[in-house]
């Protein structure tokens, strides 16, 4: 091959990649092809026959694409017909779920070229003066009225005093506007409150959480009539009404849209008047606050067999009008409030509700007559906001307690004459806890920021709920492994047992995690976040065929350009080992490679998603493991983005970099393995091999955090200071009157002074004039007395060591009870008193 021929071929490759990246239109491609063929004929020595063949192979197809009438006739119209034929039928509930909510940063991650400036320029979430005052006072006062042990084993609920405080101080109306008597707090404030309460008492957190997320207030605010808002919202804000919302039934759990509860349109009597309404029969379970609720939000399916809601004289309206939401007082005749459920010893109020042939007026429908049949979409949009706040916040709350308590315990607890926090096996568990908590809190904050920005982030909320609760499970399990016997003995001294015991609740509710991962994250994300798929589907469904063709043509060829652009980006990123994608100019130097990694994986993910939809088609929603892995890639990119945003929002504290590196390395590795998992199970093996080479030509670039990084994270977790405080910021710090495990933190705070004393005494210990500090904290009392008597320690040092020994001894103990102790009897006696 001559030099000119080599340059001519190189020009083809470089030019094609550049035009793909620039997403050049067909006319520019046509011009470039003609110039390239001409250059080959003139300089590279290709013959006339070769030039003619290239013209036939390249110019004619490009010309067809460039000339709109030709493109319409030969390409767009046939492709549209195929698309309309193979497009899977979508139920109305599926359509409502896909169209509900909004897209945000998730769409940027799907773009193959995320606009980092859009994310980094958002202000850091922060509380207003009014919110901060409530957080520092009322929330702290509520924490002083409650404890997890007392609410669980004594009251089996919040105490009456705590319930009264919650109602009087407006905890149940945090999201309700001030014009209705509410607090009108931000989503971030809502998240902060739930997080703090969860770090101290799960029953309090859930009792406050539900009215502010899943309760009827959100539905009323978005869809209620003015009459409904004026009546219910002030009463909800003041705690005069306790709300619950009933969606799940014994035969419709994850498939909530299939609820069998029926309301038949009929006329009936209410308040002495004949009126149009529904006769409803329902059977619901798992309804949080159901046993104590005074107003029931109910989802049911409306049937109108006699066409009473149809226009006069019309009988062509369907009889099944769809899911509808109504508000019903629980003292309304026929409403049955069932006995309590007992979800894994959690004592938040939860139970069934039912009714048989209960008549309610038509105007009890949330939003009135116009919203009949629109309940599923209402729920999807409201759940998108609530799911982004509630469970991520509560999981982060008890995870902060786990990290704070465990890190203090391992720094103070000695075995084999050294603190157990120095063992590498413990380092692995601690790093898993600290790194995950840093990431989980970052996700919580960014998701709340999205809601405060006015978004209804359906995909992001699903990502947040799934991954924060799953990582919370990993975190709590690691803590239990570290605590050992202390972690498995129930009692006031055990700060981790309730979280461990109740972790499956967070995994299960608000959309079970298996469903969320396999069906929702990518199932919704692929259509909602993709820049063209929803447009293509909409065009295919248009009645006007000329308009359908025009819209489809525009979306389809933009989609093709999008695929080629991401192919080019992915290949160049792979060949450059990830160094080619540009990082934002504002990114700190030490993290630029992570921004480039997200850009690389974003393009690779967009390409793989398009190839998966092309090869597998509509059956992709039934290939749940592939869909789940695709969702994992999108999710991990969102988690990395959250970590990078948090580091910026915190002011780039250098001491937090180990957490940042651990969290991002872990997420990138998981994204990579999910990507390869899709390819290893891809039905088209040839395409799978090609995609693997394009994305990762030199093998797996992203590795799990190293042992050295694990140890660094573990050490800073055991170091008192700003970094540890930032990691657990916003949690409730109990005093010793509230909780025995507060002694562990007191002992931890004394460790630097104890280490200073021990270092000063080291020569005497080495000389044998003073024995080493004993491992047993009980024995230390005797050692302190001997050292004080010999004059080796001062009176102040003696007090420090006495306090350390006493606090530490209390913190390592576990609770025990008399053999005839009966918790139920004790609770009953306490309740009677």
The pTM is what? 0.93
Is 510 assigned a catalytic role? yes
Res 12 pLDDT > 90: no
Using DSSP, state whether 359 is helix, strand or coil. strand
CA torsion, ordered 158, 161, 163, 167, to nearest 10 deg: -160
Instruction: Mention every residue, 6+ apart, whose C-beta is less than 8 A from residue 419.
Output: 410, 411, 412, 413, 718
pLDDT at position 94:
65
145-382: which CATH topology? Butyryl-CoA Dehydrogenase, subunit A; domain 2 (2.40.110)
CA–CA dist 785, 792 (Å, integer): 10
Q: Are the C-beta atoms of residues 301 and 323 closer than 8 Å to each other? A: yes
| Residue 274: pLDDT over 60 | yes
**Helix 375-412, helix 458-483: angle, nearest 10:** 30
* Among candidate residues 154, 138, 85, 21, the one with its CA nearest the CA of residue 582: 21
Q: What was the pLDDT predicted at 313?
A: 47
CA dist 234 and 315 (Å) reads 41
Using left for φ > 0, alpha for ψ between -120 and 50, and beta otherwise, residue 652 falls in left
Helices 129-136 and 138-145, axial angle in degrees (round to 10): 20
Q: How far apart are CA 258 and CA 263, in angstroms?
A: 14
For residue 274, count CB atoms less than 10 angstroms from its CB and return exposed for 0-12, middle for 13-18, buried for 19 or more: exposed
Q: Residue by residue, what is the 3-state secondary structure of 793-811?
A: CCHHHHHHHHHHHHHHHHH
Residue 9's pLDDT band (boundaries 50, 70, 90)? confident
| Residues pairing with 287 in the sheet | 351
Strand partners, 244: 296
Using an 8 Å Cβ cutoff, are 152 and 216 in contact?
Answer: no
Q: Which one of 108, 241, 455, 510 is the catalytic residue?
A: 510
Element (H, E) at 829: helix 823-832
% pLDDT > 90, the chain? 63
| Residue 224 pLDDT > 80 | yes
Angle of the 742-767 helix axis to the 795-812 helix axis, nearest 10: 130
> Which ranges constitute the DSSP H helices of 420-544?
424-452, 458-483, 485-488, 497-508, 513-515, 522-528, 533-540
* Residue-by-residue DSSP string for 175-236: TS-GGGT-----HHHHHHHHHHHHTT-HHHHHHHHHHHHTSHHHHHHHH--HHHHHHHHHHH
Each residue of 639-650: pLDDT tens digit?
999 999 999 999
Residue 47 CB partners (closer than 8 Å, separation 6+):
none
Whether residue 14 has pLDDT greater than 60: yes
The answer to whether the beta carbons of residues 300 and 262 sit under 8 Å apart is: yes
The average pLDDT across 745-751 equals: 93
Query: Is 80 exceeded by the pLDDT of residue 96?
Result: no
Model pLDDT, residue 782: 79
CA dist., res. 222 & res. 213, Å (int) = 12
CB 609 within 8 A of CB 526: yes
Predicted local distance difference test score (pLDDT) of residue 829: 60
DSSP letters of 340-387? PP-GGG--S-EEEEEEEEEEEEGGGBTT-GGGTT-HHHHHHHHHHHHH
Q: How high is the pLDDT of residue 182?
A: 96
Distance CA 79, CA 64 (A): 14
Q: Say whether pLDDT at 87 is over 60.
A: yes
Q: What is the CA radius of gyration of the chain?
A: 31
Query: Would you give the end-to-end CA distance of the chain in angstroms?
Result: 98
Q: How far apart, in whole angstroms, are the C-alpha atoms of residue 276 and residue 304? A: 11
Stated length of the chain = 833
Question: Residue 288: how many CB atoms within 10 A of its CB?
Answer: 23
User: Percent of the chain at pLDDT above 70?
Assistant: 95
Nearest to residue 658, comparing CAs of 591, 712, 738, 595?
712
Least confident residue range of 48-52, 284-288, 568-572, 719-723: 48-52
Over residues 227-249, mean pLDDT:
94
CA distance 34 to 329: 75
Annotated domain spans of the chain: 3-66, 145-382, 742-812
* pLDDT confidence of residue 765: 81
Structure tokens at 737: 């009157």
Q: How far apart are CA 317 and CA 310, in angstroms?
A: 6
Per-residue pLDDT of 296-330, as tens digits, reads 999 999 999 988 987 644 556 678 888 999 999 99
The band of 475, judged by pLDDT with boundaries at 50, 70 and 90, is very high
């Amino acid at each position: 091959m001559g030099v000119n021929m080599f340059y001519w071929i190189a020009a083809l490759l470089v030019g094609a990649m550049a035009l793909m990246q620039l997403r050049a239109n067909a006319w520019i491609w046509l011009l470039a092809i003609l110039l390239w063929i001409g250059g080959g004929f003139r300089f590279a020595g290709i013959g006339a026959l070769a030039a003619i063949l290239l013209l036939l192979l390249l110019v004619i197809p490009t010309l067809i694409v460039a000339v709109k009438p030709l493109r319409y006739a030969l390409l767009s119209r046939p492709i549209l017909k195929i698309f309309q034929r193979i497009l899977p039928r979508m139920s109305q509930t599926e359509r409502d779920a896909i169209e509900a909510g909004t897209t945000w940063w998730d769409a940027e991650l799907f773009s193959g070229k995320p606009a980092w400036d859009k994310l980094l320029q958002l202000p850091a979430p922060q509380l207003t003066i009014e919110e901060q005052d409530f957080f520092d006072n009322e929330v702290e006062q509520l924490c002083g009225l409650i404890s997890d042990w007392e609410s669980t084993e004594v009251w089996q609920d919040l105490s009456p005093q705590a319930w009264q405080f919650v109602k009087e101080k407006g905890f149940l109306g945090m999201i309700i506007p001030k014009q209705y008597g509410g607090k009108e707090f931000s989503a971030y404030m809502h998240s902060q409150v739930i997080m703090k309460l969860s770090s101290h008492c799960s029953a309090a957190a859930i009792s406050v959480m539900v009215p502010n997320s899943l309760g009827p207030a959100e539905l009323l605010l978005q869809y209620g009539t003015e009459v409904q808002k004026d009546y219910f919202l002030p009463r909800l804000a003041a705690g005069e009404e306790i709300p619950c919302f009933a969606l799940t039934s014994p035969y419709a759990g994850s498939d909530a849209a299939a609820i069998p509860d029926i309301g038949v349109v009929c006329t009936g009597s209410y308040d002495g008047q004949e009126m149009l309404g529904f006769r409803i029969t329902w059977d619901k379970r798992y309804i949080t606050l159901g046993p104590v609720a005074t107003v029931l939000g109910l989802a049911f399916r409306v049937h109108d067999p006699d066409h009473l809601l149809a226009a006069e004289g019309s009988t062509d309206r369907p009889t099944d009008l769809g899911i509808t939401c109504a508000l019903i007082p629980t003292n309304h005749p026929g409403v049955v409030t069932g006995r309590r459920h007992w979800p894994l010893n959690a004592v938040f109020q939860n139970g069934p509700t039912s009714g048989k042939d209960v008549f309610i007026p038509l105007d009890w429908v949330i939003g009135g007559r116009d919203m009949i049949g629109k309940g599923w979409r209402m729920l999807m949009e409201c759940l998108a906001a609530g799911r982004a706040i509630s469970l991520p916040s509560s999981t982060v709350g008890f995870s902060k307690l786990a990290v704070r308590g465990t890190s203090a315990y391992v720094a103070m607890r000695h075995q084999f004459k050294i603190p157990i926090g120095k063992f590498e096996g413990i380092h692995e568990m601690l790093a898993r806890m600290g790194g995950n908590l840093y990431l989980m809190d970052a996700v919580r904050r960014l998701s709340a920021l999205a809601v405060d920005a006015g978004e209804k982030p359906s995909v992001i909320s699903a990502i947040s709920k799934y991954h924060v609760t799953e990582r919370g499970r990993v975190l709590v399990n690691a803590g239990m492994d570290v605590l050992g016997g202390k972690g498995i003995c129930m009692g006031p001294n055990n700060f981790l047992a309730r979280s461990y015991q109740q972790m499956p609740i967070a995994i299960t509710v608000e959309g079970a995690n298996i469903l969320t991962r396999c069906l929702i994250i990518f199932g919704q994300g692929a259509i909602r976040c993709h820049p063209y798929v929803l447009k293509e589907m909409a065009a295919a469904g248009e009645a006007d065929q000329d308009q359908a063709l025009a819209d489809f043509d525009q979306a389809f060829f933009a989609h093709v350009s999008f695929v080629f652009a991401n192919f080019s980006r992915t290949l160049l990123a792979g060949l450059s080992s990830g160094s080619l994608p540009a990082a934002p100019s504002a990114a700190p130097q030490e993290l630029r490679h992570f921004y480039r990694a997200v850009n690389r994986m974003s393009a690779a993910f967009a390409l793989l998603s398009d190839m998966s939809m092309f090869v597998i088609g509509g059956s992709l929603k039934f290939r749940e493991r592939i869909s789940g892995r695709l969702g994992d890639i999108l999710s991990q990119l969102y988690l990395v983005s959250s970590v990078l945003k948090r580091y910026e929002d915190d002011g780039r504290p250098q001491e937090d970099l180990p957490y940042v590196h651990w969290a991002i390395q872990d997420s990138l590795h998981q994204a990579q393995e999910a990507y390869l998992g899709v390819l290893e199970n891809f039905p088209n093996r040839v395409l799978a091999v090609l995609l693997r080479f394009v994305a990762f030509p030199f093998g797996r670039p992203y590795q799990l955090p190293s042992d050295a990084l694990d140890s660094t994270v573990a050490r800073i977790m055991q170091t008192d200071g700003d970094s540890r405080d930032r990691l657990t910021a916003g949690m409730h710090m109990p005093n010793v009157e509230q909780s025995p495990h507060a002694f562990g933190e007191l002992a931890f705070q004394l460790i630097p002074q104890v280490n200073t004393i021990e270092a000063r005494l080291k020569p005497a210990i080495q000389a044998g004039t003073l024995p080493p500090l004993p491992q047993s904290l009980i024995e230390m009392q005797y050692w302190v007395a001997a050292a004080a008597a010999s004059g080796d320690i001062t009176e102040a040092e003696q007090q420090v060591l006495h306090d350390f020994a006493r606090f530490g001894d209390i913190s390592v103990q576990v609770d025990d009870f008399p053999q005839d102790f009966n918790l139920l009897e004790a609770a009953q006696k306490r309740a009677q008193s």
